[in-house]
Protein backbone atom coordinates (compact mmCIF):
# COMPACT_ATOMS: atom_id res chain seq x y z
CA UNK A 1 0.00 0.00 0.00
CA UNK A 2 1.32 3.45 -0.92
CA UNK A 3 2.47 5.67 1.93
CA UNK A 4 -0.09 8.23 3.12
CA UNK A 5 0.44 11.87 4.01
CA UNK A 6 -1.34 14.95 5.38
CA UNK A 7 -1.25 18.35 3.70
CA UNK A 8 -1.52 21.78 5.32
CA UNK A 9 -2.11 25.21 3.80
CA UNK A 10 -0.76 28.04 5.95
CA UNK A 11 -2.17 31.32 4.64
CA UNK A 12 -0.08 33.86 6.52
CA UNK A 13 0.26 37.63 6.67
CA UNK A 14 3.18 37.82 4.23
CA UNK A 15 3.02 34.52 2.31
CA UNK A 16 1.09 31.32 1.76
CA UNK A 17 2.68 27.90 2.17
CA UNK A 18 1.64 24.37 1.38
CA UNK A 19 3.41 21.69 3.40
CA UNK A 20 3.23 17.90 3.26
CA UNK A 21 3.85 15.92 6.48
CA UNK A 22 4.29 12.20 7.09
CA UNK A 23 2.93 10.18 10.02
CA UNK A 24 5.97 11.05 12.17
CA UNK A 25 5.24 14.78 11.70
CA UNK A 26 8.28 15.13 9.45
CA UNK A 27 8.19 17.82 6.79
CA UNK A 28 8.27 16.09 3.39
CA UNK A 29 7.91 19.11 1.11
CA UNK A 30 7.07 22.79 1.24
CA UNK A 31 6.00 25.25 -1.44
CA UNK A 32 5.66 28.94 -0.70
CA UNK A 33 4.71 32.16 -2.45
CA UNK A 34 4.65 35.68 -1.04
CA UNK A 35 1.85 38.14 -1.75
CA UNK A 36 1.83 41.90 -1.96
CA UNK A 37 0.84 44.22 0.84
CA UNK A 38 -0.89 47.49 0.02
CA UNK A 39 -1.01 50.64 2.17
CA UNK A 40 -3.03 53.15 0.12
CA UNK A 41 -3.35 55.53 3.08
CA UNK A 42 -1.65 55.87 6.47
CA UNK A 43 -2.90 53.10 8.75
CA UNK A 44 -4.57 51.14 5.94
CA UNK A 45 -3.28 47.62 5.26
CA UNK A 46 -4.73 45.55 2.43
CA UNK A 47 -4.05 42.40 0.41
CA UNK A 48 -5.34 41.00 -2.86
CA UNK A 49 -7.44 37.93 -2.07
CA UNK A 50 -7.36 36.85 -5.73
CA UNK A 51 -3.55 36.90 -5.67
CA UNK A 52 -3.61 34.73 -2.55
CA UNK A 53 -6.00 32.27 -4.22
CA UNK A 54 -3.81 32.11 -7.32
CA UNK A 55 -0.82 31.38 -5.11
CA UNK A 56 -2.68 28.44 -3.57
CA UNK A 57 -3.45 27.27 -7.09
CA UNK A 58 0.30 27.13 -7.74
CA UNK A 59 1.71 25.82 -4.46
CA UNK A 60 -0.59 22.84 -3.88
CA UNK A 61 0.50 21.01 -7.06
CA UNK A 62 4.10 22.08 -6.46
CA UNK A 63 4.11 20.61 -2.94
CA UNK A 64 2.85 17.29 -4.34
CA UNK A 65 5.46 17.29 -7.10
CA UNK A 66 8.27 18.10 -4.68
CA UNK A 67 7.12 15.28 -2.38
CA UNK A 68 6.92 12.89 -5.32
CA UNK A 69 3.38 11.83 -4.46
CA UNK A 70 -0.10 11.98 -5.95
CA UNK A 71 -3.26 13.53 -4.57
CA UNK A 72 -4.59 10.04 -3.83
CA UNK A 73 -1.86 9.66 -1.19
CA UNK A 74 -3.07 12.72 0.77
CA UNK A 75 -5.61 11.59 3.37
CA UNK A 76 -6.61 15.08 4.54
CA UNK A 77 -6.00 18.79 4.15
CA UNK A 78 -5.91 21.24 7.03
CA UNK A 79 -6.15 24.99 6.48
CA UNK A 80 -4.78 27.63 8.82
CA UNK A 81 -4.77 31.36 8.24
CA UNK A 82 -3.96 34.86 9.39
CA UNK A 83 -6.85 35.76 11.64
CA UNK A 84 -9.17 38.78 11.50
CA UNK A 85 -8.12 39.52 7.89
CA UNK A 86 -11.23 39.19 5.72
CA UNK A 87 -12.61 39.61 2.24
CA UNK A 88 -16.13 40.23 0.88
CA UNK A 89 -16.93 38.77 -2.52
CA UNK A 90 -19.77 38.32 -5.01
CA UNK A 91 -21.44 34.93 -4.60
CA UNK A 92 -22.29 34.75 -8.31
CA UNK A 93 -18.99 35.82 -9.90
CA UNK A 94 -16.48 35.02 -7.17
CA UNK A 95 -14.97 38.50 -7.53
CA UNK A 96 -14.04 40.38 -4.35
CA UNK A 97 -15.72 43.77 -3.91
CA UNK A 98 -12.31 45.16 -2.93
CA UNK A 99 -9.03 44.14 -1.38
CA UNK A 100 -8.94 42.10 1.81
CA UNK A 101 -8.64 44.25 4.95
CA UNK A 102 -5.75 42.99 7.08
CA UNK A 103 -5.69 42.59 10.86
CA UNK A 104 -3.03 45.33 11.15
CA UNK A 105 -5.33 47.93 9.53
CA UNK A 106 -6.41 50.82 11.78
CA UNK A 107 -8.73 52.76 9.46
CA UNK A 108 -11.62 52.24 11.89
CA UNK A 109 -10.10 54.19 14.79
CA UNK A 110 -12.78 56.89 14.70
CA UNK A 111 -15.58 54.38 14.18
CA UNK A 112 -14.38 52.27 17.12
CA UNK A 113 -14.17 55.36 19.33
CA UNK A 114 -17.72 56.32 18.37
CA UNK A 115 -19.00 52.77 18.92
CA UNK A 116 -17.46 52.68 22.39
CA UNK A 117 -19.89 55.39 23.49
CA UNK A 118 -22.99 53.68 22.11
CA UNK A 119 -25.63 51.90 24.22
CA UNK A 120 -24.72 48.22 24.45
CA UNK A 121 -20.97 48.75 24.04
CA UNK A 122 -20.34 47.42 27.53
CA UNK A 123 -21.94 44.10 26.58
CA UNK A 124 -19.77 43.45 23.53
CA UNK A 125 -16.85 41.99 25.42
CA UNK A 126 -19.13 39.86 27.61
CA UNK A 127 -20.63 38.26 24.51
CA UNK A 128 -17.58 37.77 22.28
CA UNK A 129 -14.67 37.84 24.74
CA UNK A 130 -12.95 40.68 22.86
CA UNK A 131 -12.58 44.41 23.51
CA UNK A 132 -13.73 46.97 20.98
CA UNK A 133 -10.62 47.48 18.86
CA UNK A 134 -9.57 48.06 15.26
CA UNK A 135 -7.79 44.68 15.37
CA UNK A 136 -10.91 42.57 14.93
CA UNK A 137 -13.05 42.04 11.84
CA UNK A 138 -16.45 43.51 12.75
CA UNK A 139 -15.56 47.24 12.80
CA UNK A 140 -13.79 46.98 9.43
CA UNK A 141 -16.68 45.02 7.95
CA UNK A 142 -19.10 47.68 9.17
CA UNK A 143 -16.86 50.35 7.63
CA UNK A 144 -16.84 48.48 4.31
CA UNK A 145 -20.63 48.11 4.27
CA UNK A 146 -20.96 51.86 4.83
CA UNK A 147 -18.25 52.84 2.36
CA UNK A 148 -19.02 50.77 -0.74
CA UNK A 149 -22.17 51.89 -2.60
CA UNK A 150 -25.01 49.31 -2.61
CA UNK A 151 -22.90 46.79 -0.69
CA UNK A 152 -25.28 46.63 2.25
CA UNK A 153 -28.26 45.95 -0.02
CA UNK A 154 -26.31 43.19 -1.77
CA UNK A 155 -25.33 41.71 1.61
CA UNK A 156 -28.93 41.71 2.85
CA UNK A 157 -30.01 39.92 -0.34
CA UNK A 158 -27.29 37.32 0.15
CA UNK A 159 -25.51 38.30 -3.05
CA UNK A 160 -22.16 38.93 -1.34
CA UNK A 161 -20.34 36.74 1.15
CA UNK A 162 -18.05 37.56 4.05
CA UNK A 163 -15.17 35.38 5.09
CA UNK A 164 -11.84 35.26 6.85
CA UNK A 165 -9.14 33.74 4.69
CA UNK A 166 -10.00 30.14 5.64
CA UNK A 167 -13.54 30.72 4.37
CA UNK A 168 -12.31 32.29 1.13
CA UNK A 169 -9.99 29.36 0.40
CA UNK A 170 -12.49 26.63 1.32
CA UNK A 171 -15.17 28.28 -0.85
CA UNK A 172 -12.81 28.37 -3.81
CA UNK A 173 -11.34 24.90 -3.28
CA UNK A 174 -14.79 23.29 -3.06
CA UNK A 175 -16.17 24.80 -6.25
CA UNK A 176 -16.43 28.57 -5.88
CA UNK A 177 -19.45 29.81 -7.84
CA UNK A 178 -20.28 26.18 -8.61
CA UNK A 179 -21.41 25.14 -5.16
CA UNK A 180 -18.47 26.22 -3.02
CA UNK A 181 -18.95 25.71 0.73
CA UNK A 182 -19.35 28.90 2.75
CA UNK A 183 -18.04 27.80 6.15
CA UNK A 184 -15.61 28.80 8.89
CA UNK A 185 -14.48 27.25 12.16
CA UNK A 186 -15.03 28.38 15.73
CA UNK A 187 -11.51 29.77 16.17
CA UNK A 188 -11.74 32.10 13.20
CA UNK A 189 -15.33 33.05 14.00
CA UNK A 190 -14.25 33.91 17.53
CA UNK A 191 -12.00 36.67 16.13
CA UNK A 192 -14.72 38.56 14.28
CA UNK A 193 -16.46 40.03 17.37
CA UNK A 194 -19.70 38.60 15.96
CA UNK A 195 -19.69 35.11 17.53
CA UNK A 196 -21.00 34.46 21.02
CA UNK A 197 -18.06 32.98 22.92
CA UNK A 198 -20.36 30.76 24.99
CA UNK A 199 -22.76 29.40 22.35
CA UNK A 200 -20.28 29.41 19.42
CA UNK A 201 -22.97 30.85 17.16
CA UNK A 202 -23.42 34.23 15.48
CA UNK A 203 -24.88 36.47 18.16
CA UNK A 204 -28.01 38.48 17.20
CA UNK A 205 -27.16 41.27 19.65
CA UNK A 206 -23.63 41.63 18.26
CA UNK A 207 -24.93 41.58 14.68
CA UNK A 208 -27.35 44.33 15.64
CA UNK A 209 -24.70 46.39 17.44
CA UNK A 210 -22.34 46.31 14.44
CA UNK A 211 -25.22 46.35 11.92
CA UNK A 212 -24.01 43.28 10.00
CA UNK A 213 -26.47 41.30 7.81
CA UNK A 214 -26.61 37.65 8.90
CA UNK A 215 -27.02 36.37 5.34
CA UNK A 216 -23.46 37.26 4.38
CA UNK A 217 -21.85 35.23 7.19
CA UNK A 218 -20.57 31.64 6.85
CA UNK A 219 -21.72 28.59 8.79
CA UNK A 220 -19.67 28.03 11.96
CA UNK A 221 -18.25 24.52 12.33
CA UNK A 222 -15.85 22.72 14.73
CA UNK A 223 -12.11 22.90 14.14
CA UNK A 224 -11.85 19.23 13.19
CA UNK A 225 -14.59 18.19 10.81
CA UNK A 226 -14.68 16.95 7.24
CA UNK A 227 -15.99 20.05 5.49
CA UNK A 228 -15.96 18.55 2.02
CA UNK A 229 -13.65 17.59 -0.83
CA UNK A 230 -11.58 19.78 -3.07
CA UNK A 231 -12.98 20.03 -6.59
CA UNK A 232 -10.43 22.54 -7.89
CA UNK A 233 -6.61 22.81 -8.06
CA UNK A 234 -6.01 19.27 -6.71
CA UNK A 235 -9.42 17.55 -6.72
CA UNK A 236 -10.46 14.82 -4.35
CA UNK A 237 -8.71 15.76 -1.08
CA UNK A 238 -10.83 15.91 2.08
CA UNK A 239 -10.70 19.28 3.84
CA UNK A 240 -10.78 18.01 7.42
CA UNK A 241 -9.77 21.00 9.55
CA UNK A 242 -9.66 24.78 9.62
CA UNK A 243 -8.32 27.01 12.37
CA UNK A 244 -6.67 30.36 12.91
CA UNK A 245 -2.89 30.42 12.80
CA UNK A 246 -2.30 30.99 16.51
CA UNK A 247 -4.74 28.25 17.46
CA UNK A 248 -2.93 25.98 15.00
CA UNK A 249 0.36 26.79 16.74
CA UNK A 250 -1.21 25.90 20.10
CA UNK A 251 -2.24 22.58 18.55
CA UNK A 252 1.10 22.03 16.84
CA UNK A 253 2.92 22.64 20.12
CA UNK A 254 0.64 19.93 21.61
CA UNK A 255 -0.58 22.30 24.34
CA UNK A 256 -3.56 20.06 25.03
CA UNK A 257 -3.55 20.33 28.84
CA UNK A 258 -4.91 23.17 30.90
CA UNK A 259 -2.17 25.69 31.68
CA UNK A 260 0.14 24.79 28.81
CA UNK A 261 1.35 27.91 26.98
CA UNK A 262 3.02 28.80 23.71
CA UNK A 263 4.18 31.99 22.01
CA UNK A 264 4.54 32.29 18.25
CA UNK A 265 7.02 34.91 17.05
CA UNK A 266 6.20 36.10 13.55
CA UNK A 267 5.02 39.40 12.05
CA UNK A 268 3.39 39.94 15.41
CA UNK A 269 3.63 37.64 18.41
CA UNK A 270 0.83 35.76 20.08
CA UNK A 271 0.89 34.05 23.43
CA UNK A 272 -1.89 31.54 24.10
CA UNK A 273 -2.60 29.50 27.20
CA UNK A 274 -4.93 26.52 27.16
CA UNK A 275 -7.58 27.02 29.88
CA UNK A 276 -9.49 23.81 29.15
CA UNK A 277 -13.26 24.06 29.33
CA UNK A 278 -12.97 27.09 31.63
CA UNK A 279 -13.94 30.41 30.10
CA UNK A 280 -11.67 32.84 31.93
CA UNK A 281 -12.48 36.52 31.56
CA UNK A 282 -9.28 38.51 31.85
CA UNK A 283 -9.06 41.48 34.20
CA UNK A 284 -5.61 42.43 32.92
CA UNK A 285 -5.96 43.16 29.21
CA UNK A 286 -5.92 39.67 27.70
CA UNK A 287 -8.41 38.14 25.29
CA UNK A 288 -10.77 35.27 25.96
CA UNK A 289 -10.82 33.14 22.86
CA UNK A 290 -11.47 29.65 21.55
CA UNK A 291 -8.44 27.36 21.60
CA UNK A 292 -9.99 24.70 19.35
CA UNK A 293 -12.94 22.32 19.11
CA UNK A 294 -12.51 18.64 18.28
CA UNK A 295 -15.57 17.42 16.39
CA UNK A 296 -18.66 17.46 18.55
CA UNK A 297 -16.75 17.79 21.83
CA UNK A 298 -17.03 20.91 24.04
CA UNK A 299 -14.73 23.75 22.99
CA UNK A 300 -11.33 24.23 24.59
CA UNK A 301 -10.87 27.86 25.63
CA UNK A 302 -7.69 29.91 25.78
CA UNK A 303 -6.36 33.18 27.13
CA UNK A 304 -4.43 35.20 24.57
CA UNK A 305 -2.00 38.07 24.60
CA UNK A 306 -1.67 39.62 21.13
CA UNK A 307 1.41 41.72 20.32
CA UNK A 308 1.04 43.67 17.09
CA UNK A 309 4.64 44.33 16.11
CA UNK A 310 7.64 42.03 16.65
CA UNK A 311 8.98 40.43 13.45
CA UNK A 312 7.67 43.37 11.45
CA UNK A 313 9.89 45.63 13.58
CA UNK A 314 12.92 43.74 12.27
CA UNK A 315 11.54 44.15 8.73
CA UNK A 316 11.15 47.90 9.35
CA UNK A 317 14.73 48.03 10.64
CA UNK A 318 15.86 46.30 7.43
CA UNK A 319 13.61 47.81 4.75
CA UNK A 320 12.80 51.30 6.02
CA UNK A 321 16.04 52.18 7.82
CA UNK A 322 18.38 50.02 5.73
CA UNK A 323 20.58 49.21 8.74
CA UNK A 324 20.74 45.51 7.86
CA UNK A 325 20.43 43.64 4.56
CA UNK A 326 18.66 40.53 5.86
CA UNK A 327 16.61 39.75 8.97
CA UNK A 328 19.15 37.29 10.47
CA UNK A 329 21.80 40.04 10.45
CA UNK A 330 20.08 41.77 13.35
CA UNK A 331 21.40 39.17 15.79
CA UNK A 332 24.97 39.69 14.57
CA UNK A 333 24.61 43.44 14.83
CA UNK A 334 23.02 43.28 18.29
CA UNK A 335 25.90 41.13 19.53
CA UNK A 336 28.37 43.94 18.79
CA UNK A 337 27.21 45.64 22.02
CA UNK A 338 26.69 44.32 25.53
CA UNK A 339 23.42 46.20 26.18
CA UNK A 340 21.02 48.75 24.68
CA UNK A 341 23.03 51.76 25.81
CA UNK A 342 19.95 53.20 27.49
CA UNK A 343 17.91 53.17 24.27
CA UNK A 344 14.40 51.69 24.03
CA UNK A 345 12.15 51.20 21.00
CA UNK A 346 8.40 50.85 21.52
CA UNK A 347 6.95 49.69 18.16
CA UNK A 348 3.40 51.00 18.44
CA UNK A 349 3.03 51.20 14.64
CA UNK A 350 -0.64 50.17 14.83
CA UNK A 351 -1.29 51.25 18.39
CA UNK A 352 -0.62 48.87 21.26
CA UNK A 353 -2.41 45.56 21.65
CA UNK A 354 -2.33 43.43 24.82
CA UNK A 355 -2.27 44.24 27.60
CA UNK A 356 -2.66 48.00 26.97
CA UNK A 357 -5.16 48.32 24.07
CA UNK A 358 -4.27 51.89 23.18
CA UNK A 359 -5.19 52.31 19.52
CA UNK A 360 -3.97 55.92 19.55
CA UNK A 361 -0.44 55.04 20.71
CA UNK A 362 2.38 55.50 18.21
CA UNK A 363 5.91 54.15 18.16
CA UNK A 364 8.91 55.89 19.62
CA UNK A 365 12.65 55.60 20.17
CA UNK A 366 13.67 57.02 23.54
CA UNK A 367 16.99 57.40 25.33
CA UNK A 368 18.99 58.53 22.29
CA UNK A 369 22.40 60.05 22.96
CA UNK A 370 25.51 60.49 20.81
CA UNK A 371 26.75 57.24 22.34
CA UNK A 372 24.07 55.15 20.59
CA UNK A 373 25.17 53.09 17.59
CA UNK A 374 23.23 50.93 15.17
CA UNK A 375 24.27 47.99 17.34
CA UNK A 376 22.41 49.50 20.30
CA UNK A 377 19.38 50.09 18.08
CA UNK A 378 19.49 46.45 16.94
CA UNK A 379 19.65 45.33 20.56
CA UNK A 380 16.68 47.58 21.40
CA UNK A 381 14.69 46.04 18.54
CA UNK A 382 15.17 42.55 19.97
CA UNK A 383 14.50 43.70 23.53
CA UNK A 384 11.21 45.28 22.41
CA UNK A 385 9.91 41.81 21.55
CA UNK A 386 11.11 40.42 24.87
CA UNK A 387 9.61 43.18 27.02
CA UNK A 388 6.30 43.03 25.19
CA UNK A 389 6.25 39.30 25.91
CA UNK A 390 6.96 40.04 29.58
CA UNK A 391 3.98 42.40 29.77
CA UNK A 392 1.65 39.72 28.40
CA UNK A 393 3.08 36.98 30.65
CA UNK A 394 2.67 39.23 33.69
CA UNK A 395 -0.98 39.84 32.76
CA UNK A 396 -1.56 36.11 32.33
CA UNK A 397 0.04 35.32 35.68
CA UNK A 398 -2.13 37.99 37.34
CA UNK A 399 -5.31 36.56 35.83
CA UNK A 400 -4.49 33.02 36.89
CA UNK A 401 -2.85 33.76 40.23
CA UNK A 402 0.08 31.52 39.40
CA UNK A 403 3.34 31.71 37.49
CA UNK A 404 4.10 29.66 34.40
CA UNK A 405 7.40 27.79 34.64
CA UNK A 406 8.17 27.29 30.97
CA UNK A 407 7.31 28.91 27.64
CA UNK A 408 7.14 26.94 24.39
CA UNK A 409 8.10 29.07 21.41
CA UNK A 410 7.86 28.80 17.64
CA UNK A 411 7.91 30.97 14.55
CA UNK A 412 10.62 32.49 12.39
CA UNK A 413 12.09 34.72 15.08
CA UNK A 414 13.05 31.72 17.24
CA UNK A 415 16.04 31.21 14.92
CA UNK A 416 17.54 34.26 16.67
CA UNK A 417 19.33 32.69 19.64
CA UNK A 418 20.15 36.04 21.23
CA UNK A 419 16.47 37.01 21.19
CA UNK A 420 15.46 33.72 22.78
CA UNK A 421 18.06 34.22 25.53
CA UNK A 422 16.82 37.76 26.16
CA UNK A 423 13.25 36.44 26.44
CA UNK A 424 14.34 33.79 28.97
CA UNK A 425 16.19 36.49 30.90
CA UNK A 426 13.34 39.01 31.08
CA UNK A 427 10.70 36.36 31.86
CA UNK A 428 12.90 34.48 34.32
CA UNK A 429 11.63 31.16 32.92
CA UNK A 430 12.97 28.48 30.59
CA UNK A 431 12.19 28.93 26.90
CA UNK A 432 11.85 25.76 24.78
CA UNK A 433 11.77 25.39 21.00
CA UNK A 434 10.59 22.14 19.38
CA UNK A 435 12.38 20.22 16.66
CA UNK A 436 9.68 21.03 14.09
CA UNK A 437 9.73 24.78 13.62
CA UNK A 438 6.63 24.87 11.38
CA UNK A 439 4.20 24.49 14.27
CA UNK A 440 1.40 26.51 12.65
CA UNK A 441 1.34 24.28 9.57
CA UNK A 442 1.90 21.21 11.72
CA UNK A 443 -1.06 22.14 13.92
CA UNK A 444 -3.33 22.34 10.86
CA UNK A 445 -2.00 18.98 9.68
CA UNK A 446 -2.48 17.45 13.15
CA UNK A 447 -6.09 18.66 13.33
CA UNK A 448 -6.89 17.32 9.84
CA UNK A 449 -5.14 14.01 10.43
CA UNK A 450 -6.93 13.57 13.74
CA UNK A 451 -10.30 14.14 12.04
CA UNK A 452 -9.76 11.26 9.59
CA UNK A 453 -8.00 8.88 11.98
CA UNK A 454 -4.53 9.31 10.46
CA UNK A 455 -3.34 9.96 14.00
CA UNK A 456 -5.40 8.09 16.61
CA UNK A 457 -5.44 10.52 19.53
CA UNK A 458 -3.83 13.52 21.21
CA UNK A 459 -1.38 11.32 23.10
CA UNK A 460 0.02 10.12 19.79
CA UNK A 461 0.58 13.71 18.71
CA UNK A 462 2.40 14.49 21.96
CA UNK A 463 4.91 11.74 21.22
CA UNK A 464 5.95 13.61 18.08
CA UNK A 465 7.07 16.68 20.10
CA UNK A 466 10.86 16.75 20.54
CA UNK A 467 13.01 19.45 22.12
CA UNK A 468 15.43 21.24 19.79
CA UNK A 469 16.76 24.00 22.05
CA UNK A 470 16.33 25.39 25.55
CA UNK A 471 17.32 28.76 26.98
CA UNK A 472 17.48 29.39 30.75
CA UNK A 473 17.54 32.73 32.61
CA UNK A 474 20.94 34.32 33.23
CA UNK A 475 20.09 37.96 34.00
CA UNK A 476 20.71 39.50 37.41
CA UNK A 477 17.29 40.06 39.07
CA UNK A 478 18.06 43.66 40.04
CA UNK A 479 19.12 44.53 36.49
CA UNK A 480 15.96 42.86 35.16
CA UNK A 481 13.76 44.98 37.41
CA UNK A 482 15.56 48.20 36.46
CA UNK A 483 15.28 47.52 32.74
CA UNK A 484 11.61 46.57 33.02
CA UNK A 485 10.86 49.82 34.86
CA UNK A 486 12.57 51.77 32.07
CA UNK A 487 10.58 49.86 29.44
CA UNK A 488 7.29 50.65 31.16
CA UNK A 489 8.19 54.35 31.31
CA UNK A 490 8.88 54.28 27.58
CA UNK A 491 5.55 52.58 26.85
CA UNK A 492 3.63 55.23 28.77
CA UNK A 493 5.16 57.92 26.56
CA UNK A 494 3.43 56.42 23.49
CA UNK A 495 -0.07 56.90 24.90
CA UNK A 496 -2.30 59.60 23.47
CA UNK A 497 -0.09 60.51 20.51
CA UNK A 498 -2.72 60.13 17.78
CA UNK A 499 -6.35 61.17 17.93
CA UNK A 500 -9.03 60.19 18.56
CA UNK A 501 -7.91 58.73 21.84
CA UNK A 502 -9.70 55.45 22.31
CA UNK A 503 -8.52 53.06 24.97
CA UNK A 504 -9.89 49.90 26.42
CA UNK A 505 -10.05 50.45 30.15
CA UNK A 506 -8.49 47.51 31.97
CA UNK A 507 -11.56 47.61 34.17
CA UNK A 508 -13.48 46.17 31.22
CA UNK A 509 -11.42 42.99 31.52
Residues 100-124: pLDDT tens digits? 999 889 899 899 989 999 988 989 9
Instruction: Write down the pLDDT at residue 1.
Output: 66
Annotated binding-site members for ADP: 13, 17, 267, 311, 412
Instruction: Write down the pLDDT at residue 402.
Output: 75
| Mean pLDDT along residues 23-27 | 91
Residue 506 has pLDDT above 50, yes or no: no
Residue 507 has pLDDT above 50, yes or no: no
Residue 503 has pLDDT above 80, yes or no: no
Contact 348, 364 (CB under 8 A): yes
Residues 38-79: pLDDT tens digits? 989 988 999 999 999 999 999 999 999 999 999 999 999 999
- pLDDT top residue among 98 and 502: 98
In three-state secondary structure terms, 390 is helix
Annotated binding-site members for sn-glycerol 3-phosphate: 13, 83-84, 135, 245
| Cα 101 from Cα 335, distance rounded (Å) | 38
Annotated binding-site members for ATP: 13-15, 267, 311, 315, 412
Residue 502 has pLDDT above 70, yes or no: no
| Cα 101 from Cα 428, distance rounded (Å) | 38
Residues 386-401: pLDDT tens digits? 999 999 999 998 988 8
| Cα 184 from Cα 170, distance rounded (Å) | 8
| Cα 432 from Cα 490, distance rounded (Å) | 29
Annotated binding-site members for glycerol: 83-84, 135, 245-246
Q: Which phi and psi (to 5°) does residue 340 adopt? A: -85, 0
Confidence of residue 92 (pLDDT cuts 50, 70, 90): very high
Q: How many residues does the chain have?
A: 509
Residues 330-370: pLDDT tens digits? 999 999 999 999 999 999 997 898 999 888 899 999 999 99
Tell me the pLDDT of the chain averaged across its residues.
Answer: 93
Rounded to two decimals, the pTM is: 0.88
Contact 27, 21 (CB under 8 A): yes
List of domains in the chain = 5-246 (3.30.420.40)
Q: Label residue 285 left, alpha or beta by phi (over 0 means left) and psi (-120 to 50 means alpha).
A: left
241's enclosing H/E stretch is strand 238-244
Instruction: Write down the pLDDT at residue 351.
Output: 87
Non-local (6+) Cβ contacts of 360 within 8 A are 109, 351, 495, 496, 497, 498, 499, 500, 501, 502, 503
Confidence of residue 500 (pLDDT cuts 50, 70, 90): low
Residues 272-321: pLDDT tens digits? 999 999 899 989 999 999 999 999 899 999 999 989 899 999 999 999 99
Confidence of residue 408 (pLDDT cuts 50, 70, 90): very high
Confidence of residue 2 (pLDDT cuts 50, 70, 90): confident
What is the percent of the chain with per-residue pLDDT over 90, rounded to a whole number?
82
Contact 246, 304 (CB under 8 A): yes
Kindly report the CA angle at 80 between 77 and 81, in degrees rounded to 5?
Answer: 145
| Cα 45 from Cα 128, distance rounded (Å) | 24
Instruction: Write down the pLDDT at residue 504.
Output: 54
- Across 31-35, 238-242, 370-374, 462-466, least confident range: 462-466
Non-local (6+) Cβ contacts of 13 within 8 A are 82, 85, 102, 103, 104, 266, 267
Residue 436 has pLDDT above 80, yes or no: yes
Q: Label residue 68 left, alpha or beta by phi (over 0 means left) and psi (-120 to 50 means alpha).
A: left
Residues 124-140: pLDDT tens digits? 999 999 989 888 999 99
Instruction: Write down the pLDDT at residue 379.
Output: 97
Instruction: Write down the pLDDT at residue 259.
Output: 86
Instruction: Write down the pLDDT at residue 120.
Output: 86
Instruction: Write down the pLDDT at residue 405.
Output: 80
Annotated binding-site members: 13-15, 17, 83-84, 135, 245-246, 267, 311, 315, 412
Amino acid sequence: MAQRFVMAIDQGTTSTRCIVFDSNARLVSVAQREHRRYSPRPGWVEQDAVEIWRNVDRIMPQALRDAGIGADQVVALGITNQRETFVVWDRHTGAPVGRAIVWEDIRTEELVAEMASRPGADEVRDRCGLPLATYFSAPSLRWLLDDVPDLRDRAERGDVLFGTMDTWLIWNLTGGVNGGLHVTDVTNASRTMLMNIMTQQWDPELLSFFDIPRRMLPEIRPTTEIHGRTTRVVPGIEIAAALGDQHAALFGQTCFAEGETKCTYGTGSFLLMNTGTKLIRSEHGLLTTIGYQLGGEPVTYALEGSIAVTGSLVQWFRDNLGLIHSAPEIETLARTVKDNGGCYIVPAFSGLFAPHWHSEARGLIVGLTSYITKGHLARAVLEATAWQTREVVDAMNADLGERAGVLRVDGGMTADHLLMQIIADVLDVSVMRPMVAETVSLGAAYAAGLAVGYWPDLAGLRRNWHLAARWTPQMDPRHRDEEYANWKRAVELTFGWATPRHTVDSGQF
